[in-house]
Amino acid sequence: MSSFSQMNIANRHQQGVALVVVLVFLIMILSIGVIALRKSSTDLKVATADQMDNVLLQSSESANQKLEAIVNGSDQDVLYKRVVLSPLGSLGYFINDSNNMGDEFVYCFNPRTNDYLRNTATIFRGTGMLENNGGICGQGDTFEYTSARQSVVTQVNLTQPRKSEENNENAFGFEHIPYGQSATLGEATVYDFEVHTTSLIPAYGTPGNCLTRRTTETNDTLMDCMADTGTPHKTIYQQVTVAQTSTLANR
């Protein structure tokens, strides 16, 4: 074999080795890229989950804070009169009629409105529905979302448990004496309420009829249904106490 042929074979061998090395590097780069892409995707999912959790928490807290502001406001305030004193209000519904104790008062929270009244609520009694005036969030009406972005829906389920009946008589315990007032100045009629505020993102799940479930059921509650359907949601449980005081006559 001539020296020219030997040189040609050697060059081809070197080119082949170089090609293999390049291919190995390309495979390594592709592998690193795939790993980085998977890690980025995982990080994005975690970040998205954290963001959704924060948004849901803020929405539920916003609904509770709105109710707290009304309850802690002046009894001369228009909203206080509508919500607490009026028999049509979400709290007044129970305060004005002891027969309603144990019912579940449901309304769809919208920070742009002040609809906490019976004529826009759904009321459950026993195992059935007593009234349905659109209190259950339908997820189809854009006005039922908490913002114009139409991402989060927040529903409030409010009830006065029967176990609080003994507290609704005249209460003299110190925990029910209004701040800054002497225990001898007046007596307080106390009303205890339980509030379940549920926020969800319908676009990321299939909540179906979960919002029609009650929060006070022993099994298959609204929260159980949300978990079963995998719908991102956040439920905050809160106890609310409304104390109406009256001045005792001088003795």
Model pTM greater than 0.75? no
User: Where along the chain do its domains lie?
Assistant: 42-163+186-245
> 10 Å Cβ neighbour count for 39?
10
Provide the total of helices (H) and of strands (E) in the chain, helices listed first.
Answer: 4, 7
Q: What is the C-alpha end-to-end distance of the chain, expressed in Å?
A: 132
User: Which tokens in the block code for residue 25?
Assistant: 């590097």
- Tens of pLDDT along the chain (251 residues) come to 555 455 454 555 555 555 655 565 666 666 666 555 554 443 334 347 778 888 899 999 999 999 999 989 888 999 999 999 999 999 999 999 999 999 999 999 988 777 788 888 999 998 889 999 989 987 556 557 676 666 888 999 999 988 655 555 444 444 444 444 444 445 678 899 999 999 988 888 888 888 999 888 878 889 899 888 888 889 999 998 888 765 544 43
Query: Per residue in 156-192, is it b (16+ CB within 10 Å) or e — as a string?
Result: bbbbbeeebeebbeebeeeebbeeeeeeeeebbbbbb
pLDDT value at position 152? 86
Tokens 């975690």, residue located: 46
